[in-house]
Homo-oligomer: A and B are copies of this chain.
Amino acid sequence: MSEVKVRGLSEAIAEHVEDGMTVALEGFGHLIPFAAGHEIIRQGRKDLTLCRMTPDLIADQMIAAGCVRKLIASFFASGSAGSLHEVRRRIERSDPEPLEVEEYSHYGMYGRYQAAAAGLPFFPLKSYAGSDLPTLNPRIRKVEDPYGGPDIHVVPALAPDVTVVHAQRADRFGNVQVWGIVGAIQEVAYAAKKVIVTVEEIVDDEVVRSDPNRTLVPAHAVDAVVHVPGGAHPSYAQGHYDRDNVFYRDWTAISKDPQLLRSWLQEWVHDLPDRAAYLEHLGEQRWQDNTVGERLSGQVDYGRRSS
């Protein structure tokens, strides 16, 4: 029997996330691990190198809270293309402090995770020929093609100390199942030394085992499974709740005003013990606005040997 890895969120973050670590929080628009990010803020982690393809609001919040020394990313705006003003203030005016940035394209960031997951030094891609990105970021390099073609750009492996991802469901051992947009969840989990997964539901072993192709991250790659319903709000969990677009639109004004942003952090992160309290503070009506109707997948037959 495998090891049961169910933990509380504060326990899992406290156990695995330390000051100065390289921490990846992935989820491409979908399943962004906001609850875990807030717990990292609440625990006062410092000097993190934060990795996220699309930093989104969670990066703006963690940076504003003083957790992050460096950001490794590929898109410096929110999902619907609004600015992340804390990120911009740091980069444009070092206000209130500078933020180190390491920058790639989406495929470059994803390739970095793939290389690390596969234990390789680099990942090759056709992007960047003629771009200023390799000049800005000398870690984007070239290799010679031993088959006689032109040199090709490569990005180096990125192995986070800890990865946190959110998913629809997992069993108690950490077999993680996801549907909808999968983003870099599988790759960043395998890339990392330690993996924390927050989920909408912890399900019976049989639920996972009734559909093994749905497992995106097998248990052997997972260190902690944490039950955090609503843990992706204001982003979404396909089939569970929709994106809170009002929240995203409101963020621009909050993010623009450093004082407002800090009050927001106080009210929505520091003054709340956990995600359950956050959802309560959000209120039933607001939650109802983002519920979704049912649209079931249908079933496939895996079969059972007759003998």
Which A residues have a C-beta under 8 Å from some C-beta of B?
119-122, 124-126, 141-147, 149, 152, 154, 156, 168, 177, 179-180, 182, 207, 210-211, 213-214, 238-240, 242, 291-306
Add 20 more A-B contacts to A180-B302, A293-B304 (CB < 8 A).
Answer: A120-B152, A121-B152, A122-B146, A124-B124, A179-B302, A180-B213, A210-B297, A214-B300, A238-B302, A239-B301, A239-B302, A240-B303, A242-B303, A291-B306, A292-B305, A292-B306, A293-B303, A293-B305, A294-B303, A295-B302
Task: Note all chain B residues with C-beta closer than 8 A to A242.
Answer: 303, 305-306
Task: Note all chain B residues with C-beta closer than 8 A to A306.
Answer: 242, 291-293
Q: Closest 3 CB pairs between A and B? A: A292-B303, A239-B301, A293-B304
A297-B300 CB under 8 A given contacts A119-B126, A126-B119, A145-B122: yes
Cross-interface CB contact of A304 among B119, B182, B240, B294, cutoff 8 Å: B294
A149 nearest CB neighbor, chain B only? B121
A210 nearest CB neighbor, chain B only? B298
Task: Note all chain B residues with C-beta closer than 8 A to A180.
Answer: 213, 302
Task: Give bound CA distance, A210 to B301, whole Å.
Answer: 15
**A122, chain B: closest CB distance, angstroms:** 6
Task: Give bound CA distance, A144 to B146, whole Å.
Answer: 10
Structural contact, B149 and A295, CB atoms closer than 8 A: no
Most central of A121, A125, A306 by chain B CB within 10 Å: A121
Task: Give bound CA distance, A154 to B299, whole Å.
Answer: 40
Cross-interface CB contact of A122 among B124, B125, B156, B294, cutoff 8 Å: B124
**A177, chain B: closest CB distance, angstroms:** 8
Task: Note all chain B residues with C-beta closer than 8 A to A142.
Answer: 146
Task: Note all chain B residues with C-beta closer than 8 A to A141.
Answer: 146-147
Structural contact, A297 and B301, CB atoms closer than 8 A: yes
Task: Note all chain B residues with C-beta closer than 8 A to A146.
Answer: 122, 141-143, 154
**A293, chain B: closest CB distance, angstroms:** 4
Cross-interface CB contact of A300 among B126, B143, B168, cutoff 8 Å: B168
